[in-house]
């Protein structure tokens, strides 16, 4: 089955530690995205990548880093510089974000809930 997987589902981190969230897709999509969702809030874009080896900052990139070495994978690292990292993190992908047609639809993974202890 094609889809987007995120792991782990729950993640606990001590203050001052970096942690990496995994996102993998087998949909052959070009673009991938990371969002943060706080309780009762909407989605805020952290980083996105339209092609391998290229990525752009979203609205709240400070304290986060990403890489896109393979088309299928877009890991997100939450660094110790992120002051309030406890949140629900969602990864998404789309085939061609610039098409303006049906392929601009984003498909989401199940999410990772990160808690800082």
Partner 1 sequence: GNSVTQMEGPVTLSEEAFLTINCTYTATGYPSLFWYVQYPGEGLQLLLKATKADDKGSNKGFEATYRKETTSFHLEKGSVQVSDSAVYFCALSLSSASKIIFGSGTRLSIRP
Residue 18 or 36: which CB sits closer to partner 1?
Answer: 36
Please report, for the chain, how many H helices and E strands are present, in that order: 0, 11
Residue 18 or 99: which CB sits closer to partner 1?
Answer: 99
User: Which residues of this chain interact with partner 1, rule CB under 8 A?
Assistant: 4, 6, 31, 33, 40-43, 45, 48, 50, 58, 90, 92, 97-102, 104-111, 113
Taking the complex as a whole, the smallest distance from the CB of residue 104 to partner 1 amounts, in Å, to 5
Q: Which residues pair with 99 in a beta bridge?
A: none
Q: Which residues pair with 94 in a beta bridge?
A: 31
Which residues, in sequence order, are CB contacts of 3 under 8 Å at separation 6+? 25, 26, 27, 107, 109
Residues in the chain: 117
Residue 10 or 15: which CB sits closer to partner 1?
Answer: 10
Taking the complex as a whole, the smallest distance from the CB of residue 77 to partner 1 amounts, in Å, to 20
Residue 16 or 40: which CB sits closer to partner 1?
Answer: 40
Calpha distance 45→63 (Å, rounded):
13
Taking the complex as a whole, the smallest distance from the CB of residue 91 to partner 1 amounts, in Å, to 8
């Amino acid at each position: 089955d094609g889809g987007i997987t995120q792991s782990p589902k729950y993640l606990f981190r001590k203050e001052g530690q970096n942690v990496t969230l995994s996102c993998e897709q087998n949909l052959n999509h070009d673009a991938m995205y990371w969002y943060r969702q706080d309780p009762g809030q909407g989605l805020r874009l952290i980083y996105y990548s339209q092609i391998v080896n290229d990525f752009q900052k979203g609205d709240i990139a400070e304290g986060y880093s990403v890489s896109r070495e393979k088309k299928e994978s877009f890991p997100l690292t939450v660094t110790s510089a992120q002051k309030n990292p406890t949140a629900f993190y969602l990864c998404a992908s789309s085939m061609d974000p610039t098409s303006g047609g049906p392929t601009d639809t984003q498909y989401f993974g199940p999410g990772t809930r990160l808690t800082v202890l």
